[in-house]
Amino acid sequence: MSKKVIGRKREQEVLSDTLNSHRSELVAVYGRRRIGKTYLIRAFFGKHILFSFTGLSSGTRSDQIKNFMLKLNEVTDLFKDKAYPVDWLEAFNYLKIFLKQKKESKKKRVIFIDEFPWVDSHKSGFLPAFENFWNDYCTTRSDLVVVVCGSAASYMVKKIINNTKGLSKRLTQTIKLQPFTLGETRDFFRYKQIPMEEYDILKIYMVLGGVAEYLEHVQPGDSAVMTIDHLCFQKGAYLENEYDQVFKSLFDENAYHQNIINALANKHKKGATRDELLETMGVSSGGRFSDALNELMESGFILKYDAYRDNAKTTLYRIYDEFCLFYLQFMKRYKGAKWTQLFQKQAYKTWCGYAFETICLKHVLQVKKGLRCDQIKSQNYSWCNNNAQVDLVIDRDDDVINVCEIKFYNQEFAIDRSYMSQLRNKENEFRTVTKTKKGIYTAFISTWGVKPNQYSKAVVVNDLTLECLFE
């Protein structure tokens, strides 16, 4: 490994296994734009990479083949005087000829094809030729690791992971690269020698999420407010046009996908059912809507989760991507404004509560570690009736239910008699409606914790601060 890889422990274990296996490996890596896929592969494999090329974002078949051959000619002189291939079958045959010059060895050699979906344009013949390359040649050797990578999650899932033709059941490893967790984000800033308190990291994360390339642009010495201002609001800001670029780069019918996001952002901050989404958008249910919704979930923009109203189970959808939500709530609405003034508005304080709740849902494993129940099987869901609402229920197999109250606050949160009654009411409503016999305990998850007093001691069993989210 020639470069430092922050976090990604499970992914590094998977990649390490490919180097130590007894056979050639075919690895698919996918995840949203700027998440760090290319960096991970190049940093981890380093000098193991024998050949790599990146698809052109827009180009004809001949353009893509020319790009392929230019990269191949960088690593061999075998084809210097040869005409460019007329199709992808011939191009991959050139790659076979190059690889045959390398005697099979115990040390793995890596072939890396980045932005794979960009190359496989309509009628290009690229995917069938690649399938033939893998099945006809790579599987006859034991020293190759072929990595295919792409940001277009829908393509990667449909055409590679769930391939029903030449690559059916041929993948040996699949990696869906997720954004950094809060803990990985803190480690990333430490690696970049950017000293920052966890509270400021949280406020930046609520806007940028754990997208590695966004975090690269955070400057030492800048507060969270300054960082958001210069990345999102200043003239020519790095993320000024990112929202539209993300959707255009990932989805062919990107306007339709954006309509789904807009529906969730404008009307259903606590989540929406499928029917509510259809009604808000004014469209009918069908394959187009289902495909777009699944693609948004697969790409990490939308979360699908269980919810109960009384005892009726339903499925809700909510925006899961921090930057998308922030863009729609503030960047689009207050274009040309200064964040140094906007962050003091009540709208931002209200938004922080929702954003913090989403982050807690993303870090539910860390929450369970804080509750010391991460080794116990459990179900997670939200719950409500006409009298009470619970942000997060952790329903455990050890006959305990944690009713989690999630609160973003700029200091210790003081529970008074009235708030204690609200919390008691939630416990009582939940028990009455669900008729559960399990023990019900209120867990408070907040930025700075709960201020100890007679009321907090009477109702809060577990007091978790933002520190637990960084574990």
Which residues, in sequence order, are CB contacts of 349 under 8 Å at separation 6+?
none
Percent of the chain with pLDDT strictly greater than 70: 99
**Spatial separation of the C-alpha atoms in residues 408 and 351, rounded to whole Å:** 10
C-alpha gyration radius of the chain: 25
Q: Map out the domains of the chain with their CATH numbers.
A: 9-176 (3.40.50.300), 242-331 (1.10.10.10), 368-469 (3.40.1350)
**Spatial separation of the C-alpha atoms in residues 27 and 209, rounded to whole Å:** 26
- pLDDT tens-digit profile of 379-420? 999 999 999 999 899 999 999 999 999 999 999 999 999 999
Determine the distance from the C-alpha atom of residue 333 to the mean position of all C-alpha atoms in its chain, rounded to a whole number: 25
Which residues, in sequence order, are CB contacts of 25 under 8 Å at separation 6+?
18, 108, 144, 145, 146, 172, 173
Structure tokens at 151: 């940001």
Structure tokens at 93: 């045959």
Q: Burial letters for 168-197: b for 16+ Cβ neighbours within 10 Å, e otherwise? A: eeebbbebbbbbbbbbbbbebbeeeebebe
Burial of 38 (0-12, 13-18, 19+ CB in 10 A): middle
pTM confidence score: 0.92
**Spatial separation of the C-alpha atoms in residues 323 and 205, rounded to whole Å:** 9
Q: CA geometry: angle at 321 spanning 355 and 235, to 5°?
A: 90
- pLDDT tens-digit profile of 252-261? 778 899 999 9
Per-residue pLDDT of the chain in tens (471 residues, 90 and over written 9): 557 899 999 999 999 999 999 999 999 999 988 999 999 999 999 999 999 999 999 899 999 999 999 999 999 999 988 999 999 999 999 999 999 999 998 899 999 999 999 999 989 999 999 999 999 999 999 999 999 999 988 899 999 999 999 999 999 999 999 999 999 999 999 999 999 999 999 999 999 999 999 999 999 999 999 999 999 999 999 999 999 988 888 887 788 999 999 999 876 567 899 999 999 999 989 888 999 999 999 888 999 999 998 889 999 999 999 999 999 999 999 998 999 999 999 999 999 999 999 999 999 999 999 999 999 999 999 999 999 999 899 999 999 999 999 999 999 999 999 999 999 999 999 999 999 999 999 999 999 999 999 999 999 999 999 999 999
